[in-house]
A = this chain, B = another copy of it.
Amino acid sequence: MNMPESTRARTRNEKAILEAAEQVFARHGYRGASVQAIAEAAGLPKSNVLYYVGSKRRLYVALLERMMERWNAMLDDIRVEDDPAEVIEAFIRSKMQLTQTHPQGSRLFAAEILGGAPFLQEYLHGELRDWVEERARVFRQWAERGQMDPIDPVWLIFLIWSATQHYADFEAQVVAITDREALDDSDYQDITDFLCQVILKGCGIRR
């Protein structure tokens, strides 16, 4: 609250730049995005943007990292003793919430993967792969105990990711086909309920 004007200006500008950049990178990918377009979206001259962030590349990496942090904040540990229905429903709901609250970030991530994930190879092969393996192990144990059907846990995780991610990445298609201007809270509620119902039932998980 008690800070010099210059500091507040810096904070405000940096925030505007990050938001603008996320939008432009999401829309056009790393190469297709121009610093000029980001600057215009942020309401600043191009040189100021570069002054604040150093380079286009650094800005892009910072945005990816911010998105990975949001992602990680969502990922709780699970144990074999947990209830499958509760865990998987919570998984679907939190993933869907990430899609709803950060659609630009979701699209930024999608564009990065679509381009072959040049900046995320390490993350995908490391942290994320470990996280998937860990979950998969628990899912298999649940299947052995007869708490769910014996399906491949990795395909299930991809199913949940893709089905939720879709409403950010393909938003333009979704709104065109459903003839809406945008999806609202109640749409997201409906979709989330639909996905929980179909996926739990489809995997033979009783709730």
Residue of B32, B152, B163, B199 touching A31 (CB-CB under 8 A): B32
Whether A117 is near chain B, meaning CB under 8 Å from some CB there, is yes
A114-B169, A129-B177, A159-B195 known; A30-B32 Cβ under 8 A: yes
Query: Residue of B at shortest CB range from A123?
Result: B176
Q: Does A44 lie at the interface of the complex (its beta carbon under 8 Å from any beta carbon of B)?
A: no
Binds B, one of A10-18, A47-55, A105-113: A105-113
* 10 further A-B pairs in the complex, CB-CB below 8 A; given A114-B114, A158-B170, A159-B163: A107-B114, A117-B172, A117-B176, A124-B176, A128-B173, A151-B198, A155-B194, A158-B167, A201-B201, A202-B203
**Chain A: how many interface residues by the 8 Å CB criterion?**
57
Binds B, one of A21-29, A59-67, A77-85: A21-29
Q: Which residues of B contact A178 (CB under 8 A)?
A: 154
Residues of B near A156 (CB, < 8 A) are: 194, 198
- Contacting B at CB under 8 A, from A100-122, are 107, 110-111, 113-117, 121
**Which residues of the partner chain B approach A185 to less than 8 Å between Cβ atoms?**
none
Tell me how far the C-beta of A86 lies from the nearest C-beta in chain B, rounded to whole angstroms.
18
A70 vs B147: C-alpha distance in the bound complex, in angstroms? 41
Task: Looking at the assembled complex, report how far the CB atom of A189 sits from the nearest CB atom of chain B, in whole angstroms.
Answer: 12
Chain B nearest CB from A204 CB (Å) reads 7
DSSP class of A's interface residues: helix, strand, loop or mixed?
helix
- Residue numbers of A with Cβ under 8 A of B are 26-33, 107, 110-111, 113-117, 121, 124-125, 128-129, 132, 149, 151-152, 154-156, 158-159, 161-163, 165-167, 169-170, 172-174, 176-179, 190-191, 194-195, 197-204
B166 contacts A114, CB within 8 Å? no
* List of B residues within 8 angstroms of A199 by Cβ: 198, 202
